C-alpha cells in the first residue's frame, strides 16, 4: 500500500481534527486538572468563585491531606468502598454472565427471547436503573416484601453497618502481606514447574516483604489515630443493581466466546472420555480466560468511575454509599474546594489508568507485531 504521499497526507489530514480535539479534551484537560490539583484554588473562599481567582501553587499538599488528614476520612472510606464494590461487582457480573451464557449455549427454545431479557438492562441509563432499584429496595417495600425479609434488619441502602473493617494505618502492612502471599504462590507454582530462577526471585521478594512487614511495617503510621474502614452493607443494594444492569454484557461476551469454540474440540474431549464437567474445566474455561480478562478490565474501569447509579439510588450526599466520583462532585461544587476536587479526580484517573494502560499496551503490542 505504498502509494502517493498525497493520499497519505489526506489520511493524516482526516485524522488531524480528531487528534487535536482528543489532545485537548483528554490530555490537555487531564494536565490542567492535574495542575489544578497542585494549587490552593478554593481553599480561600474569596477566590473560589471569583471571576478572576488568584491561585497559588502548593505542590502535593492536597494529596497529602487526602490520604492523611483527619478531615478526609470520607475520601479514604470511598477508596475502600470502591475497591469492595469493584470486586463484588466484577465477581457478580462474571458469575451470573457465565451462568447465563452456559445455559443459552445449550440451545433452549426461544433463545433469542431469553437473550433479549438478559441483555435489555444494558440499554438503560444508570439513572433509570437507579430509580427503579431505589424503589425496589425501600426498607418497607419491594424486595423485602417479596422475599418476606424483615425491614428492620434489611435496610438495604439505608444500612449503616460495616463489615471487614481494618485500620487505615495497617494499610501498608496489609498490602505487603498480600503481595508477599501472592509472590509465595508464584514461587510455589514455579517450584512445581521447576523454574528455579523464577522460584528464587519470588521467594526472595516474598521473604523481604514479610521481613519488612514484621520489623518495620507495624511502626508505619499514616494517621495519628487508628481509623477503621470496611465494607459498608449499604453498598449491597447498589451492587445488585449494577449487576442487574451489566451482567448481560458479560453474558454476551461469554456467549460469543462459547459460540466461537469449534465443535471439534468438544468432540475431541468427549472422545478422550472426558465427562461434561471435565470438558468445561479443561477445554472450555481455559479458552474463555482471555474473555474473562477483557471483561474484568472493562467492568473494572466502569466500577471505578461509578457515579450516576449511586447518585440516582442514594443521592449525592450519603456517606455510607459514597464513591470518589461523587465526592469529587460534592467537594468541588458544594464545599467549593475546587483544587481538592481536582486531586480526587486525578486519583480516580490514576486508578483507571492502572487497569487500562497495561491493557491497551498489551493489545497494541501484539498488534504492532503483525501490523
Partner 1 sequence: MTSTPLSPTSVSSVHKSPRFTLTRGLMYLGLIVAALFFLLPIYLLIVTAFKTPDAINLATTWQLPKFLNWASFSDAWAKVGGNMLNSLFLAVVATAISAMLGSLNGYALSKWKFRGANTLFALMLFGMFIPYQSVLIPLFQFIKSLGLYGNIWGLILAHVVYGIPITTLIFRNFYADVPDALVEAATIDGAGFWGIYAKVIFPISIPGFVVVIIWQFTQVWNEFLFAATLTSSGSQPVTYALSQLAGGQAVSWNLPMAGAILAAIPTLLVYIVLGRYFVRGLLAGSVKG
Partner 2 sequence: MKKSIKNALVITAALGLTAQALAANKIEIFSWWAGDEGPALAALIKLYEAKYPAVKVDNATVTGGAGTNAKAVLKTRMLGGDPPDSFQAHAGQELTGTWVVANRMEDLTSLYKSEGWNSKFPKAVIDLISYKGGIYSVPVDVHRSNVMWYVPANLKKWGVSVPKTWHEMLTACTTLKAKGVATPLVMGENWTQQMIWESLATGMLGAQGWNNLWNGKLKFTDPKVVATFSMYGNLLDCANKDASGLSWQQATDRMLAGQAAFNIMGDWAAGYMTTTKKLKPGTDFAWSASPSTSGTFIMLADSFGLPKGAKDRTEVINWLKVLGSKQGQDAFNPLKGSIAARTDSDLGKYGAYSQSAANDWKKNTIVGSMVHGAAAPESFTSGFGSINDAFVSNRDAKAAAQASQDLADKSRIGM
| 337, 338, 340, 345 alpha-carbon torsion, rounded to 10° | 140
Smallest separation (angstroms) from partner 1 to the CB of 125: 3
- Contact string (CB under 8 A) for partner 2, positions 251-290, x = contact: ----------------------------------------
Nearest Cα neighbor of 311 from 131, 139, 159 is 131
* Whole-number Å distance between alpha carbons of 356 and 126: 22
Map grid coordinates 480478562 to a residue. Answer: 293
Task: Please select the residue that binds partner 2; options are 61, 86, 303, 314, rule is CB under 8 A.
Answer: 314
**Nearest to partner 1 of 178, 361 (CB atom):** 361
**Nearest to partner 2 of 28, 45 (CB atom):** 45
Stretch that binds partner 2, among 6-14, 112-120, 239-247, 308-316 (CB under 8 A): 308-316
35 binds partner 2 (CB under 8 A): no
Task: Please select the residue that binds partner 2; options are 182, 228, 265, 289, rule is CB under 8 A.
Answer: 228
Stretch that binds partner 2, among 141-149, 181-189, 317-325, 345-353 (CB under 8 A): 317-325
Residue 172 in contact with residue 187, Cβ under 8 Å?
no
* Whole-number Å distance between alpha carbons of 69 and 337: 15
Smallest separation (angstroms) from partner 2 to the CB of 239: 17
Smallest separation (angstroms) from partner 2 to the CB of 49: 4
Q: Which residues neighbour 223 within 8 Å (Cβ) at sequence distance 6 or greater?
A: 68, 70, 168, 169
Helix axes of 324-333 and 73-104: crossing angle, nearest 10 degrees: 140
**Nearest to partner 2 of 279, 314 (CB atom):** 314
- Take residue 223 and report the three cell numbers written for it: 494517621
Task: Please select the residue that binds partner 2; options are 33, 69, 169, 195, rule is CB under 8 A.
Answer: 69
329 binds partner 2 (CB under 8 A): yes
Residue 203 in contact with residue 270, Cβ under 8 Å?
no
345 binds partner 2 (CB under 8 A): no
Return the exposure string of 251-261: e unless at least 16 CB atoms fall within 10 Å of the residue's CB, then b: bbbbbebbeee
Stretch that binds partner 2, among 181-189, 205-213, 245-253, 316-324 (CB under 8 A): 316-324
Smallest separation (angstroms) from partner 1 to the CB of 327: 9
Residue 200 in contact with residue 50, Cβ under 8 Å?
no
- Contact string (CB under 8 A) for partner 2, positions 114-143, x = contact: ------------------------xx----
Residue 104 in contact with residue 255, Cβ under 8 Å?
yes
Residue 244 in contact with residue 118, Cβ under 8 Å?
no
Residues within the interface to partner 2 (CB under 8 A): 43-51, 53, 69-71, 73-74, 138-139, 151-152, 155, 157-160, 162, 225, 228, 234, 314-320, 329-337
Amino acid at each position: 500500500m505504498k502509494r502517493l504521499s498525497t493520499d497519505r497526507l489526506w489520511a493524516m489530514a482526516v485524522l488531524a481534527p480528531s487528534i487535536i480535539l482528543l489532545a485537548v479534551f483528554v490530555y490537555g484537560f487531564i494536565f490542567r486538572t492535574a495542575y489544578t490539583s497542585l494549587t490552593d484554588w478554593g481553599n480561600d473562599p474569596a477566590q473560589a468563585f471569583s471571576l478572576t481567582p488568584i491561585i497559588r501553587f502548593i505542590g502535593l499538599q492536597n494529596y497529602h491531606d487526602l490520604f492523611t488528614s483527619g478531615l478526609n476520612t470520607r475520601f479514604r472510606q470511598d477508596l475502600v468502598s470502591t475497591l469492595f464494590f469493584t470486586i463484588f461487582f466484577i465477581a457478580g457480573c462474571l458469575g451470573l454472565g457465565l451462568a447465563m451464557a452456559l445455559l443459552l449455549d445449550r440451545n433452549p427454545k426461544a433463545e433469542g427471547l431469553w437473550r433479549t431479557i438478559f441483555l435489555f438492562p444494558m440499554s438503560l441509563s444508570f439513572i433509570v436503573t437507579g430509580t427503579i432499584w431505589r424503589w425496589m429496595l425501600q426498607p418497607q417495600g419491594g424486595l423485602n416484601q417479596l422475599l418476606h425479609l424483615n425491614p428492620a434488619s434489611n435496610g438495604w441502602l439505608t444500612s449503616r453497618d460495616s463489615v471487614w473493617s481494618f485500620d487505615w494505618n495497617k494499610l501498608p502492612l496489609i498490602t505487603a502481606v498480600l503481595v508477599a502471599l501472592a509472590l509465595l504462590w508464584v514461587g510455589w507454582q514455579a517450584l512445581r514447574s521447576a523454574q528455579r530462577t523464577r522460584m528464587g526471585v519470588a521467594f526472595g521478594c516474598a521473604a523481604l516483604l514479610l521481613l519488612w512487614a514484621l520489623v518495620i511495617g507495624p511502626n508505619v503510621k499514616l494517621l495519628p489515630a487508628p481509623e477503621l474502614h470496611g465494607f459498608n452493607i449499604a453498598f449491597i443494594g447498589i451492587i445488585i443493581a449494577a449487576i442487574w444492569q451489566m451482567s448481560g454484557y458479560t453474558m454476551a461476551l461469554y456467549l460469543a466466546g462459547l459460540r466461537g469454540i469449534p465443535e471439534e474440540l468438544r468432540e475431541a474431549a468427549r472422545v478422550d472420555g472426558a465427562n461434561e464437567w471435565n470438558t468445561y474445566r479443561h477445554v472450555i474455561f481455559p479458552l474463555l480466560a482471555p474473555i474473562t480478562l477483557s471483561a474484568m478490565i472493562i467492568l473494572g474501569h466502569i466500577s471505578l468511575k461509578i457515579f450516576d447509579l449511586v447518585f440516582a439510588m442514594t443521592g449525592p450526599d450519603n456517606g455510607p454509599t459514597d464513591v470518589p466520583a461523587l465526592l469529587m462532585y460534592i467537594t468541588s461544587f458544594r464545599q467549593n474546594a475546587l483544587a481538592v476536587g481536582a486531586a480526587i479526580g486525578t486519583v480516580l484517573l490514576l486508578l483507571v489508568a492502572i487497569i487500562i494502560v497495561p491493557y491497551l499496551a498489551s493489545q497494541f503490542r501484539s498488534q504492532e507485531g503483525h501490523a
